[in-house]
């Protein structure tokens, strides 16, 4: 069983690679966005708290997110967990580490999908244009201006995690702009080492 974090800016391919790990290695993807949406409609005590916060238009606290993660970690472990979209800050990384230690689990590695921002912006804007031309839905934030704002947020808040996990000897990097199959193979090589 392997527990990993996927790091990388918006559009780097974290969701795609997580889906491949779920399929190929029977891992469980813990996407905070998905967990919050599921909790909101679950009817549980935690779900009611999530709904109240979201209905007020506020950000869900780290305490609530850690509570949701705890619930997931207490369930079936299958091939391990993929943390996607969490942690985003150093405080969240510390909270996750404390939770994992308390539950007798370890984080095996943090894998950074490394990208060149200009190439990434071109790729996302191009993908949006292709989708629009084919009559497919396009994410509202898949445009150059929105993406640059999202990248700035990522670098301000999340990039300190690279140093955090590097200092712990857990950071691995892969070329996030390679072909999807090559990215998948690079991640597999890290997990199999």
Q: Reply yes or no on whether 170 is catalytic.
A: no
- CB of 68 within 8 A of CB of 78? no
Q: Reply yes or no on whether 168 is catalytic.
A: no
Catalytic hit among 14, 20, 40, 49? 14
Separation of alpha carbons 12 and 112, rounded Å: 9
Element (H, E) at 6: strand 4-7
Catalytic hit among 49, 127, 148, 182? 127
Catalytic hit among 25, 70, 150, 170? 150
- CB of 113 within 8 A of CB of 10? no
Separation of alpha carbons 118 and 115, rounded Å: 9
Q: Reply yes or no on whether 127 is catalytic.
A: yes
Catalytic hit among 70, 105, 123, 139? 139
Catalytic hit among 20, 40, 49, 88? 88
Q: Reply yes or no on whether 14 is catalytic.
A: yes
Q: Reply yes or no on whether 70 is catalytic.
A: no
* Residues with catalytic function: 14, 88, 127, 139, 150
């Amino acid at each position: 069983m392997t527990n990993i974090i996927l790091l990388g800016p918006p559009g780097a391919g974290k969701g795609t690679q997580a889906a491949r790990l779920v399929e190929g290695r029977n891992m469980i993807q813990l996407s905070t966005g998905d967990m919050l949406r599921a909790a909101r409609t679950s009817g549980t005590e935690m779900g009611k708290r999530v709904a109240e916060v979201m209905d007020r238009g506020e950000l869900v606290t780290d305490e609530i997110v850690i509570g949701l993660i705890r619930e997931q970690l207490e369930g079936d472990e299958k091939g391990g967990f993929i943390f996607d979209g969490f942690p985003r800050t150093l405080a969240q990384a510390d909270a996750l580490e404390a939770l994992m230690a308390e539950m007798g689990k370890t984080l095996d590695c943090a894998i950074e999908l490394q990208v060149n921002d200009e190439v990434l912006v071109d790729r996302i804007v191009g993908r949006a244009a292709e989708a629009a031309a084919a009559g497919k839905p396009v994410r509202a934030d898949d445009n150059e201006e929105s993406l640059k704002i999202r990248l700035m947020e990522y670098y301000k808040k999340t990039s300190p995690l690279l140093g955090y996990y590097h200092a712990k000897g857990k950071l691995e990097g892969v070329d996030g702009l390679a072909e999807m199959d090559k990215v998948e193979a690079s991640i597999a090589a890290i997990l199999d080492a």
